[in-house]
Amino acid sequence: MSLKTSFTVTDLNRVIKTTLEETKFFERVSVHGELSNLTKAISGHWYFTLKDSTSRLTCVMFSSAVRHLGHSFKEGDQVELVARVTFYEPGGTLQLNVSHMQLFGIGSLFAKLEALRLQLQKEGLFDSALKKPLPKYPRSIGVITSLGSAAHADILKTLKTRWPVATVQSYGTLVQGEGSVNEIMDALKRADQGHHDVLILARGGGSIEDLWSFNHELLVRLISTLKTPIISGVGHESDTTLVDYVVDVRGPTPTGAATLATPLIQEVLTHFDQLSLRLNQIMESKLNYSKTRLNHQSLTLQRLSPQKLVEKRHHLLENAKLRLEQSIKRPQDHQRLSKLYINFNHSIQSFVETHKYQINTLQHQLYALDIMQPLKRGYAFIYHDDKPITSIKDLSLSQSISLKIHDGDAQAIIQTIKENNHD
């Protein structure tokens, strides 16, 4: 066969590129296969191969498209691509410029899932106003997960390390596969009735199919009705299910959920030590003030002592008597002066008795001001955060309080509260 034209390699590649990329069919194609040879460049671009049992295609996905991926892909995943067929002229190679990628076979499921998410969000199930606060110091924790799993072991280890004072009860359930949704819901119902302070719903990582039970509408709606605060710890940090939207707090992993549920006991003990030191300083300051006031009252009492008043009045009486004796000129005045003397003595005695009663009253008042007296009779001073507790309304369950007794200090936890009815 005779050829009229002989192309250079560059010329032929340009013809192929122009012909291919100007063909409408190749502007947007959908193709599925196995993801392999995945390379994630520093620039954010992905380079990989899409293959099946007999063929392969070279693919590139630029960072602008990668940023919109909703799944963490890995080698071996069966994926479905939307791409433009391009031809790399200098290398003479065909490649797919990928604009979208999803796991093959569940594209419709993702669409249904997003529709369900938007519906539940519109109904208000995910509103932040409905989120219940987590307890600061939980006494009882319920764990809903697969018993014996790595996630279960990690949760128990984290809870024991961080907050060993809490009691932990586990509720075993399937976390994937047929029947798992009903089991999870049943475990949640039982846990919600278990009088726990907080619940942890968790499972370890896996594929989107493994986590699919946590996207079930009935499970999401049930969680929205539970009374106990719930923390989720489903899969890895990059995994998100509908359960994560409806729970009160989302944990990145099972271990992360256990961390969010508990304080670190070392930090709590350090805080309590600081509070105890501050309380002792306050009590010492108040006691020193009371001692100073008591000493002042004692000096005042000494100045008002009945004995000193009697001595002073007796001295005045002797002087008056002496002056009267010296001033007596006539015998007939003796009888009158004697009567005046008796009346004078009676007035002095009445004055002394009256002031003696007043002084006794002051002594009783001074005794009542002694801060240690009520403590010796069995009373105690109650403080929280450096402030005295004066009303039952200042107390709350699980609150830590400090007690000052006449011979020492103590710490206590409020377990029950009963307000007196004064109506």
For the chain of 423 residues, list the mean pLDDT of each consecutive stretch of 10: 71 87 84 92 94 91 85 83 88 89 71 85 94 96 96 96 96 93 97 97 85 94 97 87 95 95 92 87 88 83 70 76 66 67 76 77 72 74 80 82 82 84 60
Beta strands 78-88 and 408-413, pairing class: unpaired
Report which residue type is found at 103.
L
- CATH class of the domain at 9-105: mainly beta
Superfamily of domain 111-263: Succinyl-CoA synthetase domains (3.40.50.261)
| pLDDT score recorded for residue 109 | 67
| CB neighbourhood size of 336 (10 A) | 11
Model pTM score = 0.49
Q: Specify the pLDDT at position 226.
A: 97
- The whole-number pLDDT of residue 246 equals 96
Q: How many residues does the chain have?
A: 423
| Best CA proximity match to 242, nearest among 260, 261, 224 | 224
For the chain, the domains span 9-105, 111-263, 267-373
pLDDT the model gives residue 391: 82
Structure token digits, residue 14: 């340009």
Predicted local distance difference test score (pLDDT) of residue 1: 47
